[in-house]
Structure 1
Amino acid sequence: MNQRSDVPTSAMSPVDIGFGAADDLSQIVEIVNYTAANSIATFATRPTSVAERREWFDQFATTGPYKLLVARQDNQVLGYACSQRYRDHEAFQQTVEASIALHAQSRGRGIGTSLYRALFDSLAGEPVHVTLAGIAMPNDASVALHRKFGFTEVGVFSEYAVKHGQYISSQWMQRLASPQHQS
């Protein structure tokens, strides 16, 4: 799966969206670490390493419900979107949790929309009944992106995490599979 994105790129080469590869992991870790240090969008409180993220990376495949898609331009990872296991219980086999992260300079360019479009298109034939997303608040851009893809609000966990000395709430959203994709 390599898609060309319709994201405007000025004089740069087009943005390609494809499945994540081991070579992308170091740049994904850079995005994760930058986000952890500079925002509440992730609850991570310390930098991670490629070795620490290897198990997370190893859960993804090109088929099945757990996928990692990466936006690349000129050998640079601009961001990623993934669907991963929600919980280990057998009852949650048709439930995935979606996550998206963008390089700081890639935000506001439509890359998140392109990544999510490709992710949900790739999940259409998979045994996924519901996709969940937890969004640390406030994050109007992420809420708007999720609404754009049919997510609806489920509820808010109020002040259930602490980062940078402040309590953080998280809004949870869900997206049910369309009837033709239900198992």
Structure 2
Amino acid sequence: MHTGRLVRDARLEDAACCAEIYAPYVRDTAVSFETEPPTAAEMAARVEAALATHAWVVVEEAGRVVGYAYGATFNARGGYRWSTSVSVYTEAGRRRTGAGRALYTGLLDRLAARGYRTALAGVALPNEASAGLHVAMGFEPVGTYRRVAWKLGRWHDVAWYQRPLGDHPADQSAPPALPH
């Protein structure tokens, strides 16, 4: 673990830092298919929603938020309620520092504790760093959507990765645990 690194549950006051980290991905890359960076207020609403039903974690280094990861609804249909989509973002210059791995470890542990059984992640191609992180974290590639998103003047493919979060009991009569 990196000295001075802390992975913790996000707080609403982290939203501005998360929005700042995310904005270059939206503006300058096809890593995200959003076309306008969310405001700090919009990001705060996302943090609040994720904390209510899934999880949102941040990583701090030297007391400063330098990355985040979250779980969200994979599909709104009831049969999918044990599955979650996951995403991780770190500020520029944090590749191969262990921050992404630390974020995903904290996030996936929290999601499993809530009863989620499968994590799914979409990776816009090409993105060797993200693909490598997902494989290193135990995700396996399960397919690719071809030419599914348009951004920065061209079509992009999205590779999908999947990872188990826990046992899949034969009788899954109760949904994942949510806070009271």
Q: Which TM bucket (shorter chain)?
A: 0.7 to 0.9
Letter in 2 for 1:22: L
Q: Does 1:163 align with 2:151?
A: yes
State the partner residue of 1:127.
Answer: 115
1:29 maps to which of 19, 23, 37: 19
What secondary structure sits across from 1:179 in the alignment? coil
Distance (Å, rounded) in 2 between the aligned partners of 1:30 and 1:133: 22
The 5 Å alignment of 1:138-177 reads: 138-177=126-165
State the partner residue of 1:43.
Answer: 33
Contact 2:117/2:168 (CA < 8 Å) preserved in 1?
A: no
The 5 Å alignment of 1:7-156 reads: 7=2, 9=3, 14-61=4-51, 66-156=54-144
**Aligned Cα RMSD in Å?**
1.9
* Deviation larger for 116-125 or 163-172: 116-125
The structure 1 segments of at least 4 consecutive aligned residues displaced by more than 6 Å after TM superposition are none
Contact 2:7/2:57 (CA < 8 Å) preserved in 1?
A: yes
State the partner residue of 2:177.
Answer: none
Contact 2:120/2:160 (CA < 8 Å) preserved in 1?
A: yes
- List alignment gaps of at least 5 residues for structure 1: 1-5
- List alignment gaps of at least 5 residues for structure 2: 173-180
Distance (Å, rounded) in 2 between the aligned partners of 1:161 and 1:87: 18
Q: In percent, how many aligned pairs have the same letter?
A: 26
